[in-house]
């Protein structure tokens, strides 16, 4: 039996729960369950909650009569996916005809069943829910139109989509999703008459055909009845699940006179509901028809926009909140339509996404942004991150990594100039594969930013898995940050979370000085918005960069004016190189060539961050920083050295005198990031100290 290709189960038949006593290797191959996981259990676990299938009832009836039986039933693999199982069950009898065991043969016949469905044996109904499928629905809509024309009645088609159903599948598994779909099918069927048709036409898409409608108002009543029925909680495997639905409807003969158009218009109305926020019911209307016609014309024009070179990239500058200096740009697409003028992305990007054109457009944006970045690089500008937004469809392209490498290669662009922006929903929907891909981009040297953070379902536990460099606070939180406490608290929490993970934080949509000052006071790193600059065409962005403007008010803010960095090294060439590299950060930079000279400068100046060489005559860096810790404990102290003298540094590290140890030669971008991080850390500690002091003052009063 071990060598048979069919799965074998032998169950004990004299006492419930009729436990499994033997399975062969083919059983494990077919079901995914090991012998250890199966033996001792009743065989019913293979059908989970799906216990009332007609085929199972036939098998139970035969076994009660002591006879063999065969049926094709829906079973479930160990990973949750369902398969069609041709199940042969035979009672094993001993002398006298007493049944002691049951022998079952299993065979996965999913491929055959699917083929039979195509051939017509199961072609009219959905195997999971038992509802009509698309083929039967189309036929019934055509029949209903013929009858309605003869009887002068109305018919309606309702397109129903379950909102965010895939999240349930991902969180609870496909088996739970299947059970939920069956329950949904049951509720829909209860809401309509026997003469109506409920069909399942996709994963979580259903259609209801209503016949013999007397008045249009009845359609609204039934549509809302369906929506409310689906909104009531479902119970699945001991869990309470709640879902909402988006429902669109069309009416014969008002909206269309043929089945295909009637179904299409109901689908359009449903997508209007989704665009409007989901969880609603809407009928197709003439206004919607006009909008659809206009969108269709716009989509036709968009298909030729790339070949006609009508697409443009604008670049919105970003600014460092501490130095006020420009740090990079975000590439934003615009469409220069020959008759409509400049078309905003919100008017054509959804069309591109729905039609699939977004992939080709995304590739063009990537190449054009890299080409422009290379031009800026050749002009001698310092490294200026050019951020490119990836669409969800583009992110799912299997050759995305190769596309990015190609764009960098053909434009001869250093990867450090490119930043990819992704939304949290994109990476969370397929987390494992996303993590692997993002790590490849990091190894390539590309910067990574999570866009619209806070609007989805990320958390610290999720975020720490992804190799992002930057978080962007969504503009929806920034807009009312100085007037709405909830938005302000969310922004503060995002900043604190990001900094705990050593991530840079940028707030988008900053338009007022008040927003800027609030974000700066709470240690946000960068901003982007009309306060600094609107999005600019490439030529204007280049002129903007040449002027090297500072963010208004950055130099006058006391938190910026006091940002002093002390560099200590006995080699003047090293000090000069460090000064050149770090001066773009907007810091006040002091230099000393010995430990004693550094202590003298500390006595005369308020210094937040110290970067010291280790090997220096008279006093090592570790000795200097140990003294500084005692004299100026609120400083952030770091060592930069070409010698890893661990024994000399151990005591200083253990005593907390050294925050970071950086080796020579250093990476310029990494060093700048660490210095920036040190100032952020200092400000955070100072802020905590101020809160603590305030608390002590309150207690003393």
Domain contains 297: no
38 and 128 within one domain: no
363 and 269 within one domain: no
CATH number at 523 reads 3.20.20.450
pLDDT in tens, 380-422: 898 889 999 998 889 989 999 999 999 999 999 999 999 999 9
Q: Which of 116, 132, 152 lies at the terminal end of a domain, its last residue?
A: 116
Q: Which of 100, 116, 132 lies at the terminal end of a domain, its last residue?
A: 116
Query: What does the pLDDT read at residue 649?
Result: 59
Domain contains 330: yes
Query: What does the pLDDT read at residue 334?
Result: 93
Query: What does the pLDDT read at residue 644?
Result: 57
Asked if residue 699 has pLDDT above 50, the reply is: no
597 and 531 within one domain: no
223 and 195 within one domain: yes
Domain contains 638: yes
Q: Which of 116, 138, 159 lies at the terminal end of a domain, its last residue?
A: 116
32 and 58 within one domain: yes
pLDDT in tens, 354-387: 778 899 999 999 999 999 999 999 998 988 899 9
Domain contains 344: yes
In this prediction, residues 30-37 reach a mean pLDDT of: 92
pLDDT in tens, 596-641: 899 888 878 889 999 999 888 888 888 888 888 888 888 999 888 7
207 and 76 within one domain: no
In this prediction, residues 666-673 reach a mean pLDDT of: 82
Residue 81, sorted as left (phi over 0), alpha (psi -120 to 50) or beta, turns out to be: beta
Residues 227 and 221: their CA atoms lie apart, in Å, by: 10
Query: What does the pLDDT read at residue 494?
Result: 85
Q: How confident is the model at residue 533 (pLDDT cuts 50, 70, 90)?
A: very high
- Check if the beta carbon of residue 330 is closer than 8 Å to that of residue 318: yes
145 and 97 within one domain: no
Query: What does the pLDDT read at residue 197?
Result: 93
Query: What does the pLDDT read at residue 647?
Result: 55
Two tokens, residue 598:
């550094």
**Beta bridge partner(s), residue 252:** 155
Asked if residue 685 has pLDDT above 90, the reply is: no
Residues across the chain: 701
Query: What does the pLDDT read at residue 165?
Result: 82
Q: How confident is the model at residue 550 (pLDDT cuts 50, 70, 90)?
A: confident
pLDDT in tens, 140-188: 999 999 888 888 889 999 999 998 787 777 667 778 888 889 999 999 9
Task: Tell me how many domains the chain contains.
Answer: 4
Which string of DSSP letters, residue by residue, matches 212-262?
EE--HHHHHHHHHHHHHHHHS-EEETTEEE---EEEEEEEETTT-SSHHHH
441 and 374 within one domain: yes
Domain contains 483: yes
Two tokens, residue 274:
């989704």
Residues 206 and 648: their CA atoms lie apart, in Å, by: 72
145 and 68 within one domain: no
Neighbours of 503 (CB within 10 A): 23
Structural domain span for residue 540? 313-547
Query: What does the pLDDT read at residue 696?
Result: 36
Q: How confident is the model at residue 545 (pLDDT cuts 50, 70, 90)?
A: very high
pLDDT in tens, 430-470: 778 889 999 999 999 999 999 876 555 455 556 778 899 99
Lowest-pLDDT range of 116-125, 141-150, 218-227, 435-444: 116-125
113 vs 591, more confident: 591
Lowest-pLDDT range of 131-140, 417-426, 493-502: 493-502
pTM: 0.56
Query: What does the pLDDT read at residue 559?
Result: 41
CATH number at 229 reads 3.30.70.270
432 and 317 within one domain: yes
Lowest-pLDDT range of 43-57, 316-330, 469-483, 653-667: 653-667
Domain contains 604: yes
Q: How confident is the model at residue 652 (pLDDT cuts 50, 70, 90)?
A: low
**What mean pLDDT is reported for the chain?**
84
In this prediction, residues 574-578 reach a mean pLDDT of: 89
pLDDT in tens, 228-286: 999 998 887 777 888 889 999 999 988 888 888 899 889 888 888 887 778 899 888 87
513 and 446 within one domain: yes
546 vs 239, more confident: 546
The percent of residues above 70 in pLDDT, for the chain, comes to 90
Domain contains 298: no
The percent of residues above 90 in pLDDT, for the chain, comes to 34
Residues 677 and 85: their CA atoms lie apart, in Å, by: 59
Domain contains 304: no
In this prediction, residues 543-554 reach a mean pLDDT of: 80
Asked if residue 648 has pLDDT above 60, the reply is: no
- Check if the beta carbon of residue 119 is closer than 8 Å to that of residue 144: no
Q: Considering only CA atoms, which of 68, 140, 137 is closest in space to residue 105?
A: 68
263 vs 17, more confident: 263
CATH number at 634 reads 3.40.50.2300
Query: What does the pLDDT read at residue 38?
Result: 92
685 vs 34, more confident: 34
Query: What does the pLDDT read at residue 475?
Result: 86
470 and 351 within one domain: yes
Two tokens, residue 328:
């990079």
Query: What does the pLDDT read at residue 117?
Result: 66
Query: What does the pLDDT read at residue 698?
Result: 32
Query: What does the pLDDT read at residue 170?
Result: 67
Is residue 609 exposed (0-12), middle (13-18) or buried (19+ Cβ within 10 Å)?
buried
């Amino acid at each position: 039996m071990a060598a048979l290709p069919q799965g074998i189960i032998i169950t004990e038949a004299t006492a419930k729960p009729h436990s499994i006593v033997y399975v062969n290797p083919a059983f494990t191959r077919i079901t995914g369950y090991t012998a250890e996981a199966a033996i001792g259990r009743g065989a019913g676990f293979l059908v989970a909650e799906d216990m009332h299938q007609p085929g199972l009832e036939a098998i139970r009836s035969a076994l009660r009569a002591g006879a063999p039986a065969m049926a094709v039933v829906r079973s479930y693999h160990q990973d949750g996916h369902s398969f069609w199982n041709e199940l042969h069950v035979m009672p094993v009898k001993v002398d006298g005809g007493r049944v002691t065991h049951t022998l079952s043969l299993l065979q996965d016949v999913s491929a055959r069943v699917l083929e039979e469905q195509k051939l017509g044996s199961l072609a009219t109904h959905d195997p999971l829910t038992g509802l009509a499928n698309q083929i039967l629905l189309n036929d019934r809509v055509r029949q209903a139109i013929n009858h309605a024309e003869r009887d002068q009645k109305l018919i309606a088609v309702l397109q129903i989509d379950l909102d965010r159903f895939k999240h349930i599948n991902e969180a609870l598994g496909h088996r739970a999703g299947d059970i939920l779909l069956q329950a949904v099918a049951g509720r829909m069927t209860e809401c309509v008459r026997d003469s109506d048709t409920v069909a399942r036409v996709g994963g979580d898409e259903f259609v209801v055909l209503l016949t013999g409608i007397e008045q249009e108002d009845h359609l609204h009543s039934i549509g809302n009845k369906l929506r409310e029925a689906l909104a009531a909680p479902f119970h699945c495997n001991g869990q309470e699940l709640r879902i909402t639905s988006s429902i669109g409807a069309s009416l014969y003969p008002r909206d269309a006179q043929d089945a295909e158009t009637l179904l299409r218009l109901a689908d359009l109305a449903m997508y209007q509901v989704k665009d409007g926020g989901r969880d609603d019911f809407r009928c197709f209307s003439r206004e919607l028809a006009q909008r659809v016609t206009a969108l269709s014309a716009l989509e036709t024009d968009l298909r030729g926009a790339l070949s006609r070179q009508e697409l443009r990239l604008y670049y919105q500058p970003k600014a460092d909140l501490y130095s006020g200096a420009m740090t990079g740009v975000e590439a934003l697409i615009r469409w220069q339509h020959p008759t409509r003028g400049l078309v905003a992305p919100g008017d054509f990007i959804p069309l591109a996404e729905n039609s699939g054109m977004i992939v080709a457009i995304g590739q063009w944006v990537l190449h054009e942004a890299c080409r422009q970045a290379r031009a800026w690089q050749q002009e001698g500008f310092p490294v200026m991150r050019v951020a490119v937004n990836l669409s969800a469809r583009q992110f799912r392209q299997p050759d995305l990594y190769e596309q990015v490498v190609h764009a960098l290669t053909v434009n001869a662009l250093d990867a450090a100039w490119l930043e990819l922006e992704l939304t949290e929903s994109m990476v969370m929907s397929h987390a494992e594969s996303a993590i692997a891909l993002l790590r490849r981009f990091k190894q390539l040297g590309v910067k990574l930013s999570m866009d619209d953070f806070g609007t989805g379902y990320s958390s610290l536990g999720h975020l720490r898995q992804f190799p992002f460099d930057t978080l962007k606070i969504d503009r929806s939180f920034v807009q009312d940050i100085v007037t709405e406490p909830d938005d302000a608290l969310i922004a503060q929490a995002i900043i604190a979370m990001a900094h705990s993970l050593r991530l840079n934080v940028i707030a988008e949509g900053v338009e007022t000085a008040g927003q800027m000052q609030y974000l700066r006071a709470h240690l946000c790193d960068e901003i982007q918005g009309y306060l600094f600059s609107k999005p600019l065409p490439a030529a204007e962005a280049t002129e903007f960069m040449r002027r090297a403007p500072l963010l208004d008010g950055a130099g006058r803010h006391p938190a910026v004016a006091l940002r002093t960095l002390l560099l200590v090294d006995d080699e003047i060439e090293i000090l000069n190189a460090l000064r050149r590299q770090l001066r773009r950060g907007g810091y006040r930079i002091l230099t000393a060539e010995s430990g004693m000279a550094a202590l003298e400068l500390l006595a005369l100046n308020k210094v937040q961050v110290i970067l010291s060489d280790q090997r220096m005559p008279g006093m090592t860096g570790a000795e200097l920083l140990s003294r500084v810790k005692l004299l100026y404990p609120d400083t952030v102290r770091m060592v930069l050295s070409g010698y890893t003298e661990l024994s000399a540094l151990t005591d200083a590290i253990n005593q907390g005198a050294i925050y970071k140890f950086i080796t020579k030669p250093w990476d310029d971008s990494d060093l700048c990031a660490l210095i920036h991080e040190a100032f952020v850390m200092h400000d955070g500690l100072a802020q905590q100290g101020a809160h603590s002091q305030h608390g002590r003052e309150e207690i003393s009063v």
